[in-house]
Amino acid sequence: MGGIREDMHLADYRKGVDMVPSRDGYGHGLLWLCEHDDRVVVCDADLAKSTRTIWVRDKFPEKHVDFGISEQDMLAEAGGMSRTGLVPFVTTYGVFVAGRAWDQVRTSICYGDLNVKIGGAHGGISVGPDGPTHQSLEEIPLMRVLPGMTLVVPTDAPECQKATIWAASHEGPVYLRFGREGVPVITTEETPFTVGRAEVYRDGDDVAIIACGPLVYEALVAADTLAKEGIDARVINCHTIKPMDVDTVVTAARECGAVVTAEEAQVYGGLGGAIAEVICQHCPVPMRIVGIEDTFGESGSPRELLDRYGMNSGNIIAKVKEVLKMKK
Amino acid sequence: MVETKELEEISRKIRRDIMVMLAEAGSGHSGGSLSAVEVLVSLFWNILKHDPENPAWEERDWFVLSKGHACPVLYAVLAARGYFPRETLWTLRKLDSILQGHPHRLKTPGVEFSTGSLGQGLSLATGAAMGLKRQGKPNSVFVLTGDGEQTEGAIWEAGMTAAHYRLDNLCAVCDRNYLMIDGNTEEVMGLDPLPDKWRAFKWHVIEVDGHDLRQLTYAYQRFILEKKRPTMIIANTIKGRGVSFMENQADWHGAAPKKGEQVQQALADLGFTAPWEEYMKHDFDWLG
């Protein structure tokens, strides 16, 4: 039997977890950067409180620029600033940046290879009561299709902090997708994190569960339940959607012979789509995708919505059983 | 300061190179390139601090072509100023050329940003102006927008930002030729009273005859003296200026003169009589 890998230094999530919003990790990452990197400037579109850029505004007012509610302008302005040697972190909700300002991200930033970092907040249906207008479910396909873009979906607050700090050290556009709600903290300071490298958190070779964002926790819980039934699941935190860690994915497909992906996003073109592209080209095996099934969300509590729209450990288990039946 | 007479002659040659370049390319944007010639000539010969040998010179002033489709005029100017050899102009829009159909900063020396999706260049320029100012640098940023482009909402977002942050190191020019692809701007989507709109947005507004080199140079000088406000120079121009059959014709927005008789006629209007292909073989100052 496999099990949790010691060298991943995960929190002991079985004994209970702290619930912290990943956006806090973004805010802490920005604070660290403001102290250590003169080039960093934090751009905001009237959402300082909810994106945590207010922490920067309070402590480093000279590093905070508010653009008001004008995301298209803000994205291209950040591009302009980046060419003068600054490293702008542009922050707003996912729908307003990946959606509304997509053309600015595409043509000005990615085509022009400008050094802009995008903090895409309020990703996922767990945004909750604000409803579908603010629940961003489409950023993964919208961003990963752009040449030159690096796309990271951190699993929890500590990982989001690491990703934020990493982004400043990388030359080129980066999109960080994170949510609003408190989510289980499963990683620690010692947990390895390298952009572009998917980490195997749990060994197993009956099926591979490849997840990103808060669904990594659900995958670990699912794996524990499956273990009791004698099914040994490998759990992979695939935080970097682009560039995809092809080797880890192909190895998992080859050794496990079946794959389930899990994300808090539309099932079309997201993590599942990215993994499917790899698997069907390099090592075709049965596969299923856990996510939102081509529909918009609705208002509700985060937990209710994740259950209603099929993104909990039970949904992962159901899909695992489907692929196991298909496995020869 | 280069004398007006000489700038007029340079403008005539720039128009010639635009026509030859577009004819050779077989496609591209004539009207809005011809309307902006004096705006760029005045800037690139009399105002802009720049070094063609070192386009990334830290102390340079920046130029951003927000109306990216008018890149033939920018390319002709950059070649004449020595950013790249003039022969390069005849590769416009061809495979492997450094001169893309719309400006791309990674391919062409002297191009600061990749533009062409209208409404973004003013924000890029404003961001550059903000970045320079935040770092206490004295560089100015110049940006040319189209008038049709100003029907894009993001233009007005940038307008608010530049005024709010008092970016007096930003000088925008609006190529006010009153034509967009579908026709007269006031019929397609009314812009007037355009100068009043920019005044209401707290910009320093200067209206000039956009083909009058003296007025343009004077307007740029007034920008340099202006404090606490960004400047918008509304340059009243004629789309297709200098080529009789293109002047004030919306259909020439996105069309190139055909090789042969048509481009020959365009050159004749500009006072050039040698066979059009000859102008590709000689240097900028050859008059034929």
Q: With contacts defined as CB-CB under 8 Å, which chain A residues touch B60?
A: none
Q: With contacts defined as CB-CB under 8 Å, which chain A residues touch B163?
A: none
Task: Cite the DSSP H helix spans in B107-239.
Answer: 121-134, 153-164, 185-188, 194-200, 213-225
Q: With contacts defined as CB-CB under 8 Å, which chain A residues touch B164?
A: 68
Identify which of A84, A104, A112 has the shortest CB distance to residue B132. A84
Q: Is residue A173 in a domain?
A: yes
Q: Is residue A36 in a domain?
A: yes
Q: Which residues contact A309 (CB under 8 A, 6 or more apart)?
A: A125, A292, A293, A295, A297
Q: Which residues of A are catalytic?
A: 71
Q: Is residue A171 in a domain?
A: yes
A85 conformational bin, left if phi > 0, alpha if psi -120 to 50, beta if neither? left
pLDDT confidence of residue A1:
66
**Same domain as A304, residue A247:** yes
Task: Write the CATH number for A139.
Answer: 3.40.50.970
- Cβ pair A263, A252 in contact under 8 A: no
Q: Which residues contact A177 (CB under 8 A, 6 or more apart)?
A: A94, A120, A123, A136, A139, A140, A143, A151, A152, A153, A154, A213
In 3D space, the residue among B238, B244, B250 whose CA is nearest the CA of residue B177 turns out to be: B238
Q: With contacts defined as CB-CB under 8 Å, which chain A residues touch B124?
A: 76-77, 79-80, 108
Q: Which residues contact B239 (CB under 8 A, 6 or more apart)?
A: B31, B32, B34, B35, B177, B178, B179, B246, B247, B248, B249, B250, B252, B253
Q: Which helix (H) or strand (E) holds B112?
A: none
β-bridge pairing A150-152 and A240-242: antiparallel
List the Cα angle B249/B255/B257 in 5-degree steps: 95
Asked if B264 is an interface residue toward chain A (Cβ–Cβ < 8 A), one would say: no
Question: How far is Cα A140 from Cα A119, in angstroms, rounded to an integer?
Answer: 13
Q: Which residues contact A298 (CB under 8 A, 6 or more apart)?
A: A131, A132, A305
Q: How far is B223 from chain A (nearest CA, A)?
A: 21
Q: Is residue A13 in a domain?
A: no
**Same domain as A160, residue A257:** no
β-bridge pairing A287-292 and B62-65: unpaired
Average pLDDT of the residues in A268-290: 98
- The total number of residues shown for chain A amounts to 328
* CATH of B4-281 among 3.30.1020.10, 3.40.50.970, 1.10.760.10, 3.30.300.30: 3.40.50.970
What are the φ/ψ torsions at residue A289 (nearest 5 degrees)?
Answer: -120, 125
Task: Write the CATH number for A268.
Answer: 3.40.50.920
Contact A77 B158 (CB under 8 A): yes
Identify which of B114, B127, B137 has the shortest CB distance to residue A81. B127
**Of A140, A168, A184, which residue sits at a domain end?**
A184
* Preceding peptide of B193 cis, ω within 30°: yes
Asked if A77 is an interface residue toward chain B (Cβ–Cβ < 8 A), one would say: yes
Contact B114 A111 (CB under 8 A): yes
What residue spans define the domains of chain B?
Answer: 4-281
**Of A149, A184, A219, which residue sits at a domain end?**
A184
Question: How far is Cα B216 from Cα B256, in angstroms, rounded to an integer?
Answer: 27
Best of A39, A84, A107 to substitute, by most chain B Cβ atoms within 10 angstroms, is A84
Q: Which residues contact B7 (CB under 8 A, 6 or more apart)?
A: B38, B41, B42, B45, B46, B213
**Same domain as A201, residue A135:** no
Which ipTM was obtained for this model?
0.96
* Domain that residue A311 falls in: 3-8+190-326
Question: How far is Cα A136 from Cα A120, in angstroms, rounded to an integer?
Answer: 9
Q: Is residue A15 in a domain?
A: no
Q: With contacts defined as CB-CB under 8 Å, which chain A residues touch B135?
A: 84-86
Q: Which residues contact A62 (CB under 8 A, 6 or more apart)?
A: none
**Same domain as A230, residue A154:** no
Contact B125 A112 (CB under 8 A): no
Q: Is residue A110 in a domain?
A: yes
Number of domains in chain A: 2
The one-letter amino acid at B138? P
- pLDDT > 90 fraction of chain A, expressed in percent and rounded: 99
pLDDT confidence of residue A207:
98
**Same domain as A309, residue A237:** yes
**Same domain as A203, residue A160:** no
CB pairs under 8 A between A and B: 103
pLDDT in tens, chain B (288 residues): 999 999 999 999 999 999 999 999 999 999 999 999 999 999 999 999 999 999 999 999 999 999 999 999 999 999 999 999 999 999 999 999 999 999 999 999 999 999 999 999 999 999 999 999 999 999 999 999 999 999 999 999 999 999 999 999 999 999 999 999 999 999 999 999 999 999 999 999 999 999 999 999 999 999 999 999 999 999 999 999 999 999 999 999 999 999 999 999 999 999 999 999 999 999 999 998
Spatial strand order of the sheet with B62-65 comes to B62-65, B141-146, B170-176, B231-236, B204-209
**Same domain as A35, residue A78:** yes
Q: Is residue A14 in a domain?
A: no
**Same domain as A176, residue A206:** no
- Determine the distance from the C-alpha atom of residue B277 to the mean position of all C-alpha atoms in its chain, rounded to a whole number: 25
Q: Which residues contact A230 (CB under 8 A, 6 or more apart)?
A: none
**Same domain as A148, residue A279:** no
**Of A165, A184, A203, which residue sits at a domain end?**
A184
